[in-house]
Amino acid sequence: MRTIAAATFKANCLAILDEAQKKHETVLITKRGKPVAKNRPCEG
């Protein structure tokens, strides 16, 4: 699982989503070091 800060996710959202889909990996999004969301590719 990849961990990324919310500000970085915001700035690079589409590229991060494309890469996560390609690699079939979950992205943990943090704010001030605390987890706030998980993004994972859809099955299928």
Question: How many domains, in total, are found in the chain?
Answer: 1
Q: Is 6 contained in some domain?
A: yes
- Helix, coil or strand: residue 39: strand
pTM over 0.85: yes
Q: Is 44 contained in some domain?
A: no
Parent domain of 26: 2-39
Q: Is the pLDDT of residue 7 over 90?
A: yes
Q: Is the pLDDT of residue 44 over 80?
A: no
d(CA 29, CA 15): 14
Position 18: which residue type?
A: D
Q: Is the pLDDT of residue 42 over 90?
A: no
Q: Domain containing 13 — which CATH number?
A: 3.40.1620
What would the mean pLDDT of 16-27 be, rounded to a whole number? 94
What would the mean pLDDT of 19-44 be, rounded to a whole number? 94
Query: In the chain, pLDDT over 90 holds for what percent of residues?
Result: 91
Q: Is 22 contained in some domain?
A: yes
What would the mean pLDDT of 7-26 be, rounded to a whole number? 95
Q: Is 33 contained in some domain?
A: yes
d(CA 13, CA 17): 6
